[in-house]
Amino acid sequence: MIQLHDITYHYPDGTPGLSHVDLTLHKGECCVVTGPNGCGKSTLFRVLNGLAFPQSGSYLLDGQPVTERSLRSRSNAAAFHRRIGYLFQNSEAQLFTRSVEDEIAFGLWQLDLPEEEVHARTEKYLRMLSLEAMRHRAPFHLSGGEKKRCALAAVLAMEPEALILDEPLGGLDEEGQQWISDCIRSLKGPDRLILLATHSRSLADSIADRRLTMDKDHRLYSAE
């Protein structure tokens, strides 16, 4: 589904972010990326989600190039983001509407879905993420775990084929980590690619079909 070939990325100040990264990801697999802080995991995920663009190398989605130029097209960008769902490491940065309910529905309205479909999906993911009791609350007033669940519900409601999760357990207490871990495990299936970065060995052990690691030189290697 996803192919990266010889991807190199530098930040505007010249600091390296990714160094000659090759990666092939298939629908139906769950791939876990580990590595020290600052090694480039979040940068890799931003490239995969079309939020950063490499200086060299190629990114193919089902054989079609993903480039800054291609995503300038509104129709191309909409189709791309419909297929790739991204949960930020700081999920609070994804929350901006007046209520949890509106947060989940926002992306669906951008897809021009029928009102009935927007309502059905919103209700489905409110239930799935146990957010029904707080549907009218402002996301900014939620606890850390509730914010994470709200952001994840908004991503899942788009029903993407690829789900990219950057440190989904970050900032959560033990109960919140267990809840999100169980949820992620339930999302595995033959029609969904899951790629996640985590420092949690228990989550990696329980979910990974394949493991990759990034080193301090911003290179990606198979961990097996």
Please report, for the chain, the start and end positions of each structural domain, with discontinuous segments joined by +.
29-46+73-222
Mean pLDDT for the stretch of residues 195-219: 93
Residue 61 pairs with which residues in a beta bridge? 2, 64
Q: Would you give the distance in Å from CA 134 to the centre of its chain? A: 23
Instruction: Name the band, by pLDDT with cuts 50, 70 and 90, for residue 157.
Output: very high
Smallest CA-to-CA distance from 199 within 179, 176, 171, 175 is with 171
CA nearest to 147, candidates 191, 192, 190, 91: 91
Assigned CATH topology for domain 29-46+73-222? Rossmann fold (3.40.50)
Using an 8 Å Cβ cutoff, are 71 and 62 in contact?
A: no
For tokens 């079609």, name the residue.
64
pLDDT for 186 = 92
pLDDT tens column, 98-151: 999 999 999 999 888 899 999 999 999 999 999 999 999 999 889 888 999 999
- In the prediction, which pLDDT does 224 show? 59
| Residue keyed to tokens 């992306």 | 107
Say which residue the tokens 């505007």 belong to. 12
Please report the pLDDT score of residue 159 as a whole number. Answer: 94
Yes or no: say if 21 and 4 are a contact pair by the CB < 8 Å rule.
yes
Q: Calculate what percentage of the chain has a pLDDT beyond 90.
A: 79
CA-CA-CA-CA torsion sign (201, 6, 39, 9)? negative
The mean pLDDT value of the chain amounts to 93
pLDDT on residue 78: 87
Q: Give the C-alpha separation, 58 to 55, whole Å.
A: 9
What is residue 92's predicted lDDT score, i.e. its pLDDT? Answer: 81
Contact between residue 3 and residue 24 where contact means Cβ atoms under 8 Å apart: yes
Q: What percent of the chain lies above the pLDDT cut of 70?
A: 100
The CA distance from 38 to 42, in Å, is: 8
- The residues that bridge with 8 in the sheet, in sequence order, are 56
Name the residue with higher pLDDT: 91 or 187: 187
Residue 162 has pLDDT above 70, yes or no: yes
Q: What digits encode the pLDDT tens for the residues 33-88?
A: 999 999 999 999 999 999 999 999 999 999 999 999 999 998 899 889 889 999 99
Long-range pairs for 78-83: beta carbons < 8 A, 24 or more residues apart: 78/110, 78/111, 80/50, 81/49, 81/50, 81/158, 82/111, 82/158, 82/160, 83/160, 83/161, 83/162
Q: Tell me the average pLDDT across 8-28.
A: 94
